[in-house]
Structures are given as structure tokens and as C-alpha cells.
A and B are shown apart, each in its own frame.
Chain A
Amino acid sequence: MDFQDAKSISASAMRAQTNRLRFITENIANADTPGYRRKVATFKEVVDQGRETGRVQSGPVELDRSALDRIYDPSHPLANGDGYYDGSNVALVVEIADAREAQRSYEANLRMFDQARKMRSSLLDILKR
């Protein structure tokens, strides 16, 4: 384990968090799409030949299984006999909170990346004298 490892681990986590943020964006964009289920990002550790590397990757997409929102609008083409149709199960507040969390994690990883970089460059400073 050295700084190169530390940097690639942080970079993998930043990539995974970016992916999570993308799902959040998709969810928010589809908040009004009938029948849309919100996507949830999953994370898992990368295992190389049975050994844990510490790197992170996004796992398969999971769909939120909670009930879809039932919206009353008799004039909607998808409305059933009672005048209801299925909306999406996206809650904007949840998405915003999730986005904030993704951002925090991203920042933490970025800081670790920067710190590994600085430590490495101060190591190289010894040679410059």
C-alpha cells in the first residue's frame, strides 16, 4: 500500500459517488413520469482474486420497491375507471438529501486524494535539494 494505491482507491470511490449522483439526477428528472420507480445506487468492494483491494465500484442498479404514488386525474390517458393513475415513487426531499450525502462522500474522498498527493510531493521534495 502506498500513495498510488491510496489515490486509485479514492478515485474509484469518487467514480462510484458520481454514479450515485447520476441516478439521483435521473430520479429527479423522472419525478413526474407515470410508473417510474426510483433507482438506488449500491456499492460494493472490489475483490481481486479473493483479496479485498479496498476499491469501490457501483453494484447493479436496484429499483425502489415501495408503492407508486396514486394520482387522481380522470382526464389523464392512463387513468383507470376510478380516475386514478400510477405516478412515480420519487420523493424529491429524499433525493435532495441523498444528493447531499453523495456530495459529502465525494468531498471526503477528494480530500483524501489531495492529501495523498501532497504527502507524495513532500516526499519528492527531499530529492530536489
Chain B
Amino acid sequence: MYAPGVTSSPSGGEPKVLDTAESIIIDGANGVTPAPRHAFPDAGVSLGLAVLVVVATLALRRRPFTTWALPVLLLLAAVPGLVHVVALRADAPLERPVLAAKVDQTLDAMQHAVPWPRPVHVAREEDDVLYPFVRYAVPSRSDSAPGVIELEVAGEHLPAKCRVEAPSGRVFCGDAP
């Protein structure tokens, strides 16, 4: 599953940064970058570096300066990832309000259209960006109850809006037709 809207590298290769709200929803907790989703395009370099660090740590462990070398090495190697976490990702501290606003608007739209625990029959919830939102908006299902609301959800973009189709009362959220 590829996250929609994930920024591509300038050369047009695999996306390098989780810098959209949609990519954070789908892959934000799977890695600092989308690398795990794309089978680690730089695995060779990373593995080579890892082997080098293991050998160096084993070789130098008994030298007095390693008291400082170990934390310095850890800190230096953490810098690229921390740049993503602190500045580049869509959930970086300064970007989070924008992300939160998109999430809020989408949840508000769904909770207004299908106020749980009123019975809802989810006729369509595709496995994409909006799937977890509809799971939160309608956490349990009781589609055989009288007065049930029919809901269709599909979409890849945030914030998503909902509309009610007249006269059926069927609710569509996201890009659903």
C-alpha cells in the first residue's frame, strides 16, 4: 500500500520524506522515513555502516576514549533522523497544528454525519487513508438495527468532507461518489 501524496525525490525515485498528512496517517509509526514501506532502497549503505560500527565498537571498546566516543557516535548518527522528526515530517512540532486541523475537520465531518452510537451500516470503507477515521467515528457496528444510516467512505485526501444523499439519507465521506 503506497501512501498518497508522499513527496517524491527530485530524481523521481522513491519518496524520501513523510511530509504529508496522509503519509503520516499511513506510515508515520512505521519508520522515521518511508524507507520500510519501500523495502529500504539504501539498505546496502545502511548495512555497511552498521557492520562498520559493530566492528569499531568491538575493537575500540577497551580504549579509554570510548567513554566519550560511544555517546558522540550515537548522537552524530541520530542527527539525520532527528532532522526528519523535528523539521521535515508532517508531524514535526511546527507542522503538527496543520496536521491536527486536517484530522479534526475530518473527524468532525464524520461524527456530525454519523453520530455514534446511532446504528450505522458501513457499506464501504476502503483500506486507505480514511479507513481509520471511520473506525474511530463508528467504532462498533450494529447494521441490523432499525433506522440505520448507510455510510460509504473512500478517499485518499485530508481533510475529507461528508454529504448526505437525498432522499435515501445515505452518507458519503471522502471521495465516495
Q: Do A and B come from one complex?
A: no
B interface residues, Cβ below 8 angstroms from A? none
